């Protein structure tokens, strides 16, 4: 089947990851429908796509089943990216986080089932590993969730399994590990650490690291995430479906190292940045100390081969931010 005859729905398609997926799938010749309520997504993220003949924007909310039913009509694949992210946001407002991430997720599963969607690929989260101290993180070993957000993302996985068993749906969950890159919003109360630090450095403001800076993460560049979504969508291996995959690079970096790289790369655009002081604050509630993904399962079953390591991804991200934040 030609890609031009395949219709893909991307929920949260005006958000950071969703808009990058929209761009890549349009480039590959697919028909793309973007569903977004613009609570966190931005029109500017998809502005260049609006006049493309293979792109359609639907303004709607996954908490509304009618919107979900409308969006899934005639769709072959769903890439479900819509969610309220952020552990701190979920601690402040667990009810809305649950409404969107659990209620909205269930609406999308039901709508996809009723529309006969071929495969449902959804954004899962490394937060599902919770208090498990084992490293690297392997998909079959998780702990207890440490935040309302983590609970919602684990519930997504449970619902996906039930719908696969009960209704014969094909579902694949991608446990994202600290994704970063172009179009990630540096503004707002719940901005992710990399775009936030970049914005602060560019403005000659001191970044504040939570704790002593020795917490580590498996930072994952957006293009690796796009690759995983495409592989999950196109795999024809039966064993590769109805499971979850770590979506990461497979290496970990401390926050102190991260800030050092950012200061180094940004200083190439503005030498004054190398003199910006780094500050330290309190540890953040709900954070896990260390995160490192095993990507062996994705390599073996999907043929995953992440191209961008942290440094290469940061260099690309820094170039984008220096162009768009000035």
Residues annotated as catalytic are 149
Q: Are 18 and 12 in contact (CB under 8 A)?
A: yes
CA distance 94 to 114: 29
Q: How many CB atoms lie within 10 A of CB 175?
A: 24
Of the CA atoms within 13 Å of residue 240, those in its CB half-sphere come to 20
CA distance 279 to 211: 10
DSSP state of 100: I
CA distance 244 to 6: 24
CA distance 286 to 210: 12
CA-based nearest residue to 289, from 217, 193, 190, 197: 217
């Amino acid at each position: 089947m030609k890609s031009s005859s395949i219709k893909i729905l991307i929920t949260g398609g005006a958000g950071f990851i969703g808009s990058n997926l929209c761009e890549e799938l349009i480039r590959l010749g697919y028909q793309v429908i973007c569903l977004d309520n613009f609570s966190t997504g931005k029109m500017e993220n998809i502005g260049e796509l609006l006049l493309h003949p293979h792109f359609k924007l639907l303004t709607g909310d996954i908490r509304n089943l009618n919107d979900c039913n409308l969006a899934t009509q005639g769709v072959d694949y769903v890439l479900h990216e819509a969610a309220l992210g952020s552990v701190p946001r979920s601690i402040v407002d667990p009810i809305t986080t649950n409404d969107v991430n659990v209620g909205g997720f269930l609406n999308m599963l039901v709508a996809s089932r009723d529309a006969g969607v071929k495969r449902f690929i959804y954004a899962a989260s490394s937060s599902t590993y919770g208090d498990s101290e084992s490293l690297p993180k392997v998909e079959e070993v998780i702990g207890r969730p440490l935040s309302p957000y983590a609970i919602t993302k684990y519930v997504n996985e449970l619902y996906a399994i039930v719908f696969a068993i009960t209704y014969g749906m094909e579902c694949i969950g991608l446990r994202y590990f600290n994704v970063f890159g172009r179009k990630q919003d540096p503004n707002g109360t719940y901005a992710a650490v990399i775009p936030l630090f970049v914005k602060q450095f560019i403005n000659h403001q001191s970044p504040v690291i939570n704790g002593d800076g020795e917490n580590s993460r498996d930072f994952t560049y957006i293009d690796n995430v796009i690759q995983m979504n495409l592989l999950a969508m196109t795999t024809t291996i039966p064993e590769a479906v109805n499971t979850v995959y770590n979506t990461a690079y497979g290496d970990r970096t401390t926050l102190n190292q991260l800030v050092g790289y950012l200061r180094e790369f940004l200083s190439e655009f503005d030498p004054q940045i190398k003199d910006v002081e780094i500050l330290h604050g309190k540890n953040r509630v709900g954070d896990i100390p260390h995160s490192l993904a095993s990507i062996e399962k994705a390599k073996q079953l999907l043929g995953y081969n992440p191209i961008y390591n942290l440094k290469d991804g940061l260099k690309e991200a820094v170039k984008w931010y220096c162009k768009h934040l000035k």
